Structures are given as structure tokens and as C-alpha cells.
């Protein structure tokens, strides 16, 4: 027992803030990927011919049933094995993005099915094509109705992003580990990192709440 | 696909899967106890208890599980807590999932119609009797599904304890990927075992849900 002394954190504030910044970048990029991927997966599962839809369903089923950490190992080491040498950061964004795309797809699929069929009939009867109906009428409504659960997934993504430190991405956990390797003060630095995550979480939650309210008004 | 390799290493993975089950089961018990206490604290009439419950739930839900494990396992010795990796894993995962489960339990309790409580109190039930005989039986049904979702999340989240060197399924997979350079084969085995466990839990939850459904 050596006692706690949070003043050891002071010289490393820059590094920790840099890590926080990278965690934010990681969350935003993986979040965007998971959103777009979620829409694509949902549409494919619902409307694509079986030969495309079934492999995607199988993929979703596997990714829902296995841990993110394991998936990251597959993506990071697997792509190298088949000759694609990507930087850890890209592997991390792709891994996080795909993992949450599957969860978003699940939500969006239900959202698309829940859009009143009269909307489709209306769009079709005024001459929209099938694709146009989906693109301009059904999906926008489905997305708006599923914003709260998708927001919940984004908050989960922020916290799960800590995991990508294991493949060596210099985000918040990793920068804390760097400081610990020099100071041997894990408690102080991990608590500081936790506080920074908590702050990021508050910011994201506030942003999502604001966004939800704006969408409500335009209804 | 190198099937002979998969066959050769499979027994190691089965053994590791049992460690994953063990950790998940122990963390589940701890999580349920923590969740019940936290839900009770959050709904209690005493303000300090409510603050403690709210703080616990908010802090453990607001920070990554990985960091919580690291604080406990690597930071613990600095404040006099020396834990084996396995024990740290169970406690860390249990406390983390407890915060989520507390919200599942509270959600179910709040969802019971107010009129039920008013009626019970009117016919002379005490507060405790109302809780025990009227609210809990109805809330228990509503809890099954959310707690099931939490349990599946816990099972998959248990992969995190590989980072504090508990030799469970993901740790074993990581080691074999490193030594064989066959990520797809190794992922295939580990994924198969995880999915058997995950979908088994999902089936049990389905069965419980049906068993206790009204109608």
C-alpha cells in the first residue's frame, strides 16, 4: 500500500486529453459506420434476394452471439492473414462499427416494418418507384422513430470503445496505460480515465437528448 | 480452413468455455444481489440511501467495464485490495452488470400499476405486505426479459476478463491466434462455443418468460 496521490496525474494531462480526443474520434467514426451499416444491413435483410440476405443474416447472427473483443482479434489478425495490412485504428473503427451496425440493424429492421403500410401505398400510388419509396418515405420515418434505441447503442459504443486499446490504438485507456508504465500509479490514472469517460458520456447523452427534442419539434 | 488444427485445439476451448460459464454464473449471482440492493436503495424513503443507489448505478453505467476491471485489479493493491485475476474478474463484472440490472429491476417495479398498490393499502396491507404479496409477484414477470438481456450482455462481456489474464475462452482464443496464425479457424471455434452459450441463455429466458406469462 503506497497511498494515493492524484498530483502524479498533472504532468500527463496533455497525454490523457489527447487520448480522450482519439476516443471521441473513434466513437464518432465507428458510430457513423454503425449507423450507415445498420441501415444497409436492415434493408438487405428485409428486401434483398435470399442469396444476399441469408449470408448477411448469418453474419448478424454470429456478431450478435460473440464478444466484441473476439471480433476485434478476428478483424485485426484475420485481415493481415489474408494479405490486407490495415492500421490498428482502421481495424478498431471497422470492428466497433460492424459490431454496433448489427445492433442498429436489428432496431432499424423493426422500425422499417413498423412504418405504416399506407405510407408505402401512398408513395407508390403517386408514382414513386420501390427504391424511391424506401429511400424517401420509409427509411426516414423508420430512422426518426428509432432514434432513442440507436442513441442508446451509441452510448454503449462509446464505452465499448475502451476495448480497442488491446489492439494498440492510442485512445484514452491506452494513454492511461502509457502514463502508468512510467509512474506505476494504476489507481490514479484509471480513475482519471474513468472520470473522462464519464464526462464524454454526459456530453453524448446531452447531445442525444437535444437531438431527440429537435426531431420531435419537426414532427 | 485447417480442420485438423481445429480438432486438435478444440478440447482446450471446451475447458476454457467452462471457465467462462463459471465466471458468468458467479458474476450473475453477485450482480443480482447488488442490483436488488441498489434498486431498493434508489426507491427507498431515505435520501442518503437514494443518493448511494443513484451514484452506484450512474458511475458503473457511465464508465467502461474495462476501466472498472483495471481499477479493481491493477489499482486495487494501491488501496490494500489484493485480488486474484479470477476474483477480480467476478467482482468487477458482477458490480458492473449489477448497475444495469438495478435499472431492469426498478423499471419492472415502477411498471406495476399504481392502482394495485393503492388497492392493497386500502384493504389494510402494510407497505411491506403490499410489496411482498402484490408488487413483487407482478414485477417479477416483467423483470425476466430485461434481466435476460443483461445476462447475455454479461456472458459476452466476460470476454473482458481476458485482459486481466483470466484464462477463459477469449484469452485462450487470443493465445492460439498468436501461436498458430490461424485467426479464422480459432475465431470459428470460440464463436461456436460463445453462440451455444448465448443462445442457450436466450432459450432459458424464453422458457421462463412463457412459464410465468399471464394467460
pLDDT of residue A2: 61
Q: What H or E segment, with its residue span, contains residue B6?
A: helix B3-42
User: Is B184 in contact with A202 (Cβ distance < 8 A)?
Assistant: no
Interface ipTM: 0.90
State how many domains chain A has: 1
Query: What DSSP state is assigned to residue A8?
Result: G
Name the packing angle between helices A88-114 and A147-160 (round to 10°).
Answer: 160
Mean pLDDT across B103-121: 91
Pick the closest to residue B71 from A40, A154, A176, A215 (CA basis). A176
Does A197 lie at the interface with B, CB-CB under 8 angstroms? yes
User: Is A180 in contact with B74 (Cβ distance < 8 A)?
Assistant: yes
> Which residue of chain B is at minimal alpha-carbon distance from A1?
B78
- Half-sphere exposure for B42 (CA within 13 Å, toward CB): 22
pTM, full prediction: 0.90
* Residue-wise pLDDT tens digits, A122-168: 999 999 999 999 999 999 999 998 999 999 999 999 999 999 999 88
Pick the closest to residue A75 from B185, B142, B62, B183 (CA basis). B183
Q: Decide if A30 is inside a domain.
A: yes
Residues of A in contact with B198 (CB under 8 A): 64-66
Min Cα separation A14/chain B (Å):
20
As a whole number of angstroms, the distance between CA A196 and CA A183 comes to 19
As a whole number of angstroms, the distance between CA A70 and CA B158 comes to 11
Mean pLDDT across A78-87: 82
Lowest mean pLDDT across A108-112, B35-39, B54-58, B211-215: B211-215
All residues at 6 or more sequence positions from A53 whose CB lies less than 8 Å from its CB, including other chains: A44, A45, A46
As a whole number of angstroms, the distance between CA A148 and CA A151 comes to 5
B132, pLDDT greater than 80? yes
As a whole number of angstroms, the distance between CA B19 and CA B172 comes to 11
Mean pLDDT across B36-44: 93
User: Is A69 in contact with B76 (Cβ distance < 8 A)?
Assistant: no
Min Cα separation A43/chain B (Å):
25
Fold held by B3-211: MetI-like fold (1.10.3720)
Question: Which residue among A69, A165, A173 places its CB closest to the CB of B159?
Answer: A69
Q: Decide if A13 is inside a domain.
A: yes
User: Is B181 in contact with A81 (Cβ distance < 8 A)?
Assistant: yes
Percent of chain A with pLDDT over 70: 98
Specify the CATH number for the domain of residue A168: 1.10.3720.10
A218, pLDDT greater than 70? no
User: Is A186 in contact with B78 (Cβ distance < 8 A)?
Assistant: yes
As a whole number of angstroms, the distance between CA A104 and CA A40 comes to 10
Question: If 0-12 CB within 10 Å is exposed, 13-18 middle and 19+ buried, where does residue A147 land?
Answer: middle
Q: Which domain holds residue A10?
A: 6-217
pLDDT of residue A1: 52
Pick the closest to residue B39 from B109, B104, B102, B112 (CA basis). B102
Asked if B106 contacts B43 with a C-beta cutoff of 8 angstroms, the reply is: yes
Mean pLDDT across A29-35: 96
Asked if A78 contacts B170 with a C-beta cutoff of 8 angstroms, the reply is: no
Question: Which residue among B71, B157, B184 places its CB closest to the CB of A190?
Answer: B71
Amino acid at each position: 500500500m503506497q497511498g494515493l496521490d492524484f498530483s502524479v496525474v498533472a504532468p500527463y494531462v496533455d497525454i490523457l486529453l489527447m487520448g480522450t480526443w482519439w476516443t471521441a474520434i473513434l466513437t464518432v467514426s465507428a458510430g457513423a459506420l454503425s449507423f450507415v451499416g445498420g441501415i444497409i444491413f436492415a434493408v438487405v435483410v428485409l428486401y434483398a434476394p435470399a442469396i444476399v440476405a441469408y449470408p448477411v443474416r448469418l453474419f448478424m447472427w454470429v456478431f450478435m452471439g460473440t464478444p466484441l473483443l473476439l471480433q476485434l482479434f478476428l478483424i485485426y489478425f484475420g485481415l493481415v492473414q489474408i494479405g490486407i495490412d490495415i492500421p490498428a485504428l482502421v481495424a478498431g473503427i471497422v470492428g466497433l462499427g460492424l459490431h454496433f451496425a448489427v445492433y442498429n440493424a436489428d432496431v432499424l429492421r423493426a422500425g422499417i416494418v413498423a412504418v405504416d403500410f399506407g405510407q408505402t401505398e401512398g408513395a407508390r400510388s403517386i408514382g414513386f418507384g420501390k427504391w424511391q419509396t424506401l429511400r424517401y418515405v420509409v427509411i426516414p420515418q423508420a430512422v426518426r422513430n428509432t432514434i432513442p434505441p440507436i442513441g442508446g447503442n451509441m452510448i454503449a459504443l462509446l464505452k465499448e470503445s475502451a476495448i480497442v486499446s488491446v489492439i494498440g490504438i492510442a485512445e484514452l485507456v491506452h494513454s492511461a496505460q502509457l502514463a502508468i508504465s512510467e509512474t506505476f500509479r494504476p489507481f490514479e490514472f484509471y480513475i482519471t480515465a474513468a472520470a473522462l469517460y464519464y464526462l464524454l458520456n454526459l456530453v453524448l447523452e446531452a447531445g442525444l437528448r437535444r437531438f431527440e427534442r429537435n426531431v420531435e419539434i419537426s414532427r | 480452413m485447417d480442420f485438423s488444427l481445429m480438432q486438435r485445439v478444440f478440447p482446450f476451448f471446451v475447458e476454457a468455455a467452462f471457465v467462462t460459464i463459471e465466471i458468468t454464473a458467479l458474476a450473475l449471482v453477485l450482480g443480482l444481489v447488488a442490483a436488488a440492493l441498489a434498486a431498493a436503495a434508489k426507491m427507498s424513503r431515505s435520501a442518503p440511501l437514494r443518493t448511494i443507489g443513484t451514484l452506484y448505478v450512474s458511475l458503473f453505467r457511465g464508465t467502461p467495464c474495462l476501466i472498472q476491471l483495471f481499477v479493481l485489479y491493477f489499482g486495487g493493491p494501491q488501496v490494500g485490495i489484493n485480488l486474484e485475476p479470477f476474483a477480480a474478474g467476478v467482482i468487477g463484472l458482477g458490480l458492473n452488470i449489477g448497475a444495469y440490472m438495478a435499472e431492469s429491476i426498478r423499471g419492472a417495479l415502477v411498471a406495476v400499476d399504481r392502482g394495485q398498490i393503492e388497492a392493497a393499502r386500502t384493504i389494510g396491507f402494510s407497505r411491506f405486505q403490499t410489496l411482498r404479496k402484490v408488487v413483487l409477484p407482478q414485477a417479477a414477470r416483467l423483470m425476466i426479459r430485461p434481466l435476460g438481456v443483461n445476462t447475455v450482455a454479461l456472458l459476452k462481456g466476460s470476454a473482458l476478463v481476458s485482459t486481466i489474464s483470466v484464462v477463459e475462452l477469449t484469452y485462450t482464443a487470443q493465445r492460439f491466434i498468436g501461436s498458430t496464425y490461424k485467426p479464422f479457424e480459432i475465431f470459428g471455434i470460440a464463436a461456436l462455443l460463445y453462440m451455444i452459450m448465448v443462445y442457450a441463455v436466450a432459450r432459458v429466458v424464453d422458457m421462463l418468460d412463457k412459464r410465468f406469462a399471464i394467460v
